[in-house]
Amino acid sequence: MMGTRTRIDVRVIAKGGKYLGDDIGGALVTVEDVRTGELLAEGTTAGGSGEQKLMGVRVTRSEVLPVEGASLFTASLELERPRLIRVKAYGPLAAPQSANTVSLTQWVSPGRDVNGGAQGGGFLLEIPGLVVQIMNPPTHFLPQTAPAQLDVRANVTMMCGCPTGREPWDADQFEVTALIKGGASYHEELRLAFDGDAPYGAPSQFAAPWTVPPNETGQPSIYEVTVTAFQRQTGNTGADTSTLIIPVPQKPSDPQG
């Protein structure tokens, strides 16, 4: 029995941000039958992050956000009967260490497109979290000599890749901390401050100096660095982890007699 072609549009938006566009890798979308588990459609969103002034748009509960320039995945389903479907989104794909999954379920009926026409609508999945990437120290960082101090630096953006530290995502909305652990007893927590003078004038950078503990064990010291970012206004949270190895300090060479 031939089904009736039914179109559904799926967009993914960052909580407190814009649509997940190509510049952050978009999102992987899957559509499945809730009752049977049958995969009905799969693909990635493609397009931009929405109109430039999206963050200033106000809509009522009966209205939908504008979709001009917004990243989109369109599925064409062959339906013989109404189906309860689960639409799932995973992203952002360009930041797998921070990617998250959201889903919703809804009945769809043959021939009843869920796309809202030119006014937008369709399925809109809101993905919470923050993209956190530790810039320094990188994972498995092993300097040639034991440093006395290291710069702990992280890049923090909305899930859409939108930069933080500038309006409308001002730096004072975010608490960025680094928890450094070493061995069984060493714990230190640093508050990372927004670095408006980051290299190349890049936004979204948070940093703090870390004084490296003296190593008197005669063995290299291994530390784990976990940076967590929290946006008070939305509850968005993200984290990233790296490791570093501090070599045994070199002893001064004996003076030649």
The CATH superfamily holding the domain 131-246 is Immunoglobulins (2.60.40.10)
Domains 4-127 and 131-246 share a fold: yes
- Give the model confidence (pLDDT) of 68-98 as tens digits: 889 999 999 999 999 999 999 999 999 999 9
C-alpha span between 153 and 205 (Å, rounded): 7
Among 52, 65, 216, 54, which residue's Cα sits nearest to residue 146?
216
Q: Which residue has the higher pLDDT, 81 or 146?
A: 81
- Give the model confidence (pLDDT) of 166-204 as tens digits: 899 999 999 999 999 998 889 999 999 999 877 777 899
Domain boundaries along the sequence of the chain: 4-127, 131-246
CATH, domain 4-127, list 1.10.10, 2.60.40, 2.40.50, 2.60.120: 2.60.40
